[in-house]
Amino acid sequence: MKSNIKNIAVLTSGGDAPGMNACIRAVIRTGIYHGCNMFGVTQGYQGLIDNNINPMDARSVSNILHMGGTILKTARCLAFKEDEGMELAFKNLKAKEIDGLIVIGGDGTFTGAKRFGEKFGINVIGIPGTIDNDLYGSDFTLGYDTAVNTIIEAIDKIRDTADSHDRLFFIEVMGRDSGCIALRTAIASGAEAVLLPEKETSLKELISKLKAGASTKKSSSIVIVSEGNKYGGAYDIAKSVKRKFTHYDTKVTILGHLQRGGSPSGFDRILGSRLGYAAVNEMIKGETMQMVGLRGNEIKLTSLEEALHVHSYKLEADLLEMTHVLSI
């Protein structure tokens, strides 16, 4: 059934991710195409509380497809976790007669959206925007592909200097709870080893692997460290390894927020556009408390409850095996 929704707001929350602007563009223009009044919320949930909710037209989102970050900005908002903050946000939406809210972000964003929708009955659709690729219901989350490519480019440059100086580099990438980024960048960059949150690799095993490489005259070695690895960050691991393995000059690079920025890849521009387009269409059909995601190259709906609490993702067994086979 088609809903009576006429006024839709969109916000971005949590960590920014490349492709968010493409998604915002698709949301605004799809809504306008269907005759809806569209609004952008600046600074996420904080913007809802501060009533920073502004009308947007088709020209408001011109020439933003190629831009990283988010034109709507994002901010942490502890006040939105409290009933008083949510009530104020709802009053601000109600005053503008906004009856639909589309949120782009990760698990924290969806947690807030789910509670907000349940408490006040506002129609909510979520779009997975996070470089971590850790939400159930979408094979790829918005920004993940760009982040992987950004890291690969950085590692390629580090490899040049590592080869020139017979160096061992420990490169720390984002992924507190998910090793998706680390595993794929390890394969794509030809890393000698990767340390993941989901799979324990002992320091003894790591050192043995590095010694084997040195014995076959490898001129450099690169180890990818996911920030959620149980042994700590790249600096801690590098110190432990250096005490027992002195073959290489050891260096550490923490890529940090470099991974979040930059112009989105073609994949993320298309994904953002597909998800934004689908979110508006599903909301107009009457769907609420759902996430739109990409599964098997088709856009599918997953409840916010499932997206947040079903943890069925497993790192691909063939990729895990490849990290050992291809790095000899």
pLDDT for residue 312: 57
Q: 5 near 284, Cβ under 8 Å?
A: yes
Strand partners, 124: 101
- 3-state secondary structure labels for all residues of 99-133: CEEEEEECHHHHHHHHHHHHHHCCEEEEEEECCCC
Q: Which residues contact 324 (CB under 8 A, 6 or more apart)?
A: none
Contact 56, 7 (CB under 8 A): no
Residue 68: both structure tokens together: 């990283």
Verify whether residue 132 is a known catalytic residue: yes
Return the pLDDT at 324: 87
What pLDDT is stored for residue 198 in this prediction? 86
Distances (CA, A) of 3 to 9, 109, 283: 16, 24, 8
Tokens of 52: 């920073």
- Which is nearest to 9 in space by CA: 118, 104, 130, 108? 104
Per residue of the chain (328 residues), give pLDDT as tens.
567 899 999 999 999 999 999 999 999 999 999 999 999 999 999 999 999 999 999 999 999 999 999 999 998 899 999 999 999 999 999 999 999 999 999 999 999 999 999 999 999 999 999 999 989 999 999 999 999 999 999 999 999 888 888 889 999 999 888 899 999 999 999 999 999 988 878 888 888 888 888 888 877 789 999 998 888 789 999 998 888 887 778 999 999 999 999 999 999 999 999 999 999 999 999 999 999 999 999 999 999 999 999 875 678 889 999 998 998 8
State pTM to two decimals. 0.94
Active-site residue (options: 107, 132, 145, 268) = 132
Q: Encoding tokens for residue 148?
A: 């992987």
Q: Which region, left, alpha or beta, applies to residue 254 given φ > 0 means left and ψ of -120 to 50 means alpha? A: beta
Taking alpha carbons only, the member of 165, 168, 166, 167 closest to residue 225 is 168
